[in-house]
Amino acid sequence: MSFRRPSKLVMILSLLVIVIVGIGGWTSMYLLNKANESSETLADAKSNGEIRVVDHDAIFVDGNKEEEFSREVAKMHAYFNKLLGWGAWRTFEPKSKDEELESQLEYINDILLPETSGSLAVDMERAAKGIEKALETNTTEEMFITHRIFHDLDVVMNDNVAEDYWGATATYGK
């Protein structure tokens, strides 16, 4: 039994594949880390002066509804956590929950949005658009924006302790 040594071409192609896979893996890790760098804790954002102080009269139609609105934001945040959290977004297809999402969209447009004004109304409109686009395209990308808006509003309005603060809202910013 004789053993034939691989040709130079096979060795060069093998080495080239290893280099390409290595560069691809490194690039993927770099981009993943870069995407996660945009979040920080609320405490960090506050200490860096990145959270805007907002006059609640400027963002609510009726200032007496602020507490109720904050509770509703917490519920919406919990809903999106359940829907997309802990890696569920990887396999989630919006059209599989279209009735549920249409109901959430209607709730935002008919209940939450009319209670807001200014930058908070902009946030509610962006959240609604995220759901609309997710249903149109059947992808979760736009729903990340909706989720992060409710996440940040919940964290700031309800003074929740959270690992991440995304700075996704027009209201409180980053």
User: Do 101 and 136 fall into the same domain?
Assistant: yes
User: Do 45 and 20 fall into the same domain?
Assistant: no
User: Do 74 and 117 fall into the same domain?
Assistant: yes
Cα-based distances in Å from 45 to 23, 39, 49, 104:
34, 9, 6, 29
- Please give the pLDDT value at position 142: 85
Mean pLDDT of 37-63: 70
For residue range 63-88, list pLDDT tens digits in order.
778 889 999 999 999 999 888 887 77
- Please give the pLDDT value at position 53: 77
Overall size of the chain counted in residues:
174
DSSP 3-state percent helix, strand, coil across the chain (nearest 5): 70, 0, 30
- Please give the pLDDT value at position 132: 95
- The residue ranking higher by pLDDT, 34 or 17, is 17
Cα-based distances in Å from 150 to 21, 32, 96, 99, 112:
38, 23, 22, 20, 12
Which residues span the domain enclosing 3? Answer: 1-37
Name the pTM for this structure.
Answer: 0.72
Residue 15 lies in a domain: yes
- Please give the pLDDT value at position 38: 52
Contact of 138 with 131, CB cutoff 8 Å? no
